[in-house]
Structure 1
Amino acid sequence: MTDLDTRAAVTIDTPNYRPPHGRRGRPRPYSASKRRSTLLTVLLWLCVLYFVLPLWWLFVSSTKDTSALFSTFGLWFGPDFSLWDNLVDLFTTRGGLFVRWIGNTVFYALTAAVGATLLSAMAGYAFAKFDFPGKKVLFSITLGAVMIPLTALALPTYLLFAQAGLTDTPWAIIVPSLVSPFGVYLMRVYAADAIDDSLLEAARVDGSGEFRTFWQVGFRLLGPGLVTVFLFSLVGTWNNYFLPLIMLNSSDLYPLTVGLAQIQAAASAGGGSQAAFSTVITGSLVTVIPLVIAFLFLQRYWQSGLSTGSVKG
């Protein structure tokens, strides 16, 4: 007896019988209200507040002068809107050196992000699509490097660059930032699923070399993954503080992170520890804005890059 005959017999014997999926075997409509969880909604709103409140405090504090910064409620505006005055003070401090720091940060971050993305793409492609002696050992070392904190490598890196005479130069910031073990791992996982082996074989049959195959076939299929690695490298270099602090001595080469800390340190050393608070906070707001814009502009590629490489089609 088939399943259809069994269902018909049950229907005859029990007139009130209903198929498990509703009438005529159709699935019941999805109800969002039945799946809604109050606890989950509350937790999500708490997460939103956790991430948004610091940005809101930063913006509100940038609109206050030094006196209002300590005499008014931190999450709301003061009696005077002093954002423009704070920006003028920021860009005129120490002869307008803040503009130089912005240029340095953009140069360091973009150069390191582009270089780290290209190196990670080539290394990840090689790990995913080639078989060579020591492949598993090298990839295991790469995974192990992800677990090593950057602060543990700062002193050995400084000693190597000091012997090479590269300290207090832009290369001292760019070259260490080109190495991204996590980027290599991410590109390896993404390339394994995003690039079909049949496409590579077809290119080789047509006489294409391995380097040309990578650039004209593989590289174009790695777009979302490339954007993901680019964003991680950009943010990591942009927010890097410890490496420039030990590598650079000239204030003309400082990035924004070290420059703002130096402004506050100079004010504290001069006895005016509160005088630079508004300037430093406004500088922090200006520092965050480019990263927010980059994430808003590239978030669709970033999201697809994280999901596509981890799910096999």
Structure 2
Amino acid sequence: MTSATVSTAPRRTDVPDVPAPREGRSGRRPASTILVTGILVVVAIYFLVPVYWVVVAASKTTDDLFGTNGFWFGNTFALFDNLGAVLTYGGGVFVRWFANSVLYAGVGGLIATYLAAAGGYALAKYRFRGRNLIFGLVLGGVLVPGTATALPLFLLFSQLGLANTYWSVLIPSLVSPFGFFLCRIYADATVDSSLVEAARIDGAGELRIFHTLGLRIMTPALVTVFLFQIVGIWNNYFLPLVMLSDQDLYPITLGLNNWNSQTDRLPEFYELTTGGVLLSVIPLAVAMIVLQRFWRGGLTEGAVKA
């Protein structure tokens, strides 16, 4: 028969019990979590309330738009009637404006992103004389507002015979100083020079290294530049106003402003304007939802080593 062994080691009573810190799983205190959540809620409301108002206004008739509460639906739900009128007015001119905006923003955004990626990658990975001077000029371009260059561009394109054409709006959209700056900083921080050297040793050319290695690593920056460029071109108003006189070449911003200027003599243009504004924000929302997954994938890429 065996007896249980009892430990006779003295128990330490000089160490006080320290309560565990009251922190959440993320390491933040509840007070800071509540504060951050409250700020995010306020910011979300700030951005979502105008969108909500556009949806409500687009569903009203002209009488309800001015005779009912601005943040609630009117007596008559006329959303589909208003959208139908927007798409059919003037032989479908809004569809033409929509297609023009897609052309300006889509093509301009893609080419501007590619050029910014190529220029930023070159400044980050190659050493040549005048590199810092070029980067300084690009920084200067970031500080120049687009409205300051609209008139000189108009005079230049007028001499070239490109005013009042698609090219007059598309060509200035192909340059993004901010995108160039961002891609240079991001490529310098994320594209490892040892990877580039390894690809060169394997026999890959510079263009192949850039397209297969550089562009993939720079995906989060490219998505950011692309979204900024799309939003900037889509919402651009002053440059098309200066460059274009043909209504068939108008983007959505210029076309909707043309409708809004006629509301004083034709009140039904209020319905067309609010309905057109609702349709104009849908592509930007879709682009944000579709492209946000590239941010998540790019930021976590390479975080786990094999």
With normalisation by structure 2, the TM-score equals 0.87
Q: Contact 2:22/2:29 (CA < 8 Å) preserved in 1? A: no
Q: Compute the displacement of 1:257 (Å).
A: 0.5
**Aligned partner letter, 1:50:** Y
Q: Which residue of 2 aligns with 1:209?
A: 205
Residue in 2 that maps onto 1:236: 232
Q: Is the 8 A contact 1:177 1:237 kept in 2?
A: yes
Task: Name the CA shift for 1:303/1:70 in 2 (closer, same or farther; >3 Å).
Answer: farther
Quick check: 2:106–2:230 contact (8 Å CA) kept in 1? Answer: yes
Q: Where in structure 2 are the equivalents of 1:1-313 lying within 5 Å?
A: 15-18=14-17, 30-31=23-24, 34-37=29-32, 38-268=34-264, 271-272=265-266, 274-302=267-295
Alignment partner, residue 7 of structure 1: none
Matched residue SS, 1:74: coil
Paired with 2:59 and 2:92, the residues of 1 have a C-alpha distance of 20
Superposed displacement of residue 275, structure 1? 2.5
Separation in 2 of the partners of 1:17 and 1:261? 72
Q: What does residue 8 of structure 1 align with?
A: none
| Distance across 1 between alignment mates of 2:171 and 2:39 | 41
The size of the alignment, in residue pairs, is 290
Deviations 1:122-168 (A, max 9, x none): 00001110111111111011112111111011111111111111111
Instruction: State the one-letter code of the partner of 2:258.
Output: Q
Name the SS for the 1:132 alignment partner: coil
Q: Aligned partner of 1:68: which letter?
A: D
Match of 2:5 in 1: none
* Whole-angstrom CA distance in 2 between matches of 1:193 and 1:105: 34
Q: Distance in 1 between matches of 2:108 and 2:221?
A: 17
Q: Is the Cα contact below 8 Å between 1:228 and 1:301 reproduced in 2?
A: no
- CA-to-partner distance for each residue in 1:54-83, whole Å, 9 max, x for gaps? 000000011000000000001111111000
TM-score (normalizing by structure 1)? 0.86
Shift of 1:198: 1.1
Paired amino acid for 1:282: G
Q: Structure 1: state its 5+ residue gaps.
A: 1-10
AA matched with 1:82: A
1:36 match: secondary structure: helix
The one-letter code of the counterpart of 1:73 is N
Unaligned runs of 5+ residues in structure 2 are: 1-10
Against the structure 1 CA distance between its residues 49 and 84, is the aligned structure 2 distance closer, same or farther, given a 3 Å change threshold?
Answer: same
Matched-pair identity in %: 45
| CA–CA separation in structure 2 for the residues paired with 1:202 and 1:193 | 18
State the superposition RMSD in angstroms. 2.4
Aligned-partner SS, 1:208: coil
Cα distance in 1, alignment partners of residues 132 and 65 from structure 2: 56
CA distance in 1, matches of 2:236, 2:115: 20
CA distance in 2, matches of 1:62, 1:137: 51
Deviation at 1:262, TM superposition (A): 1.1
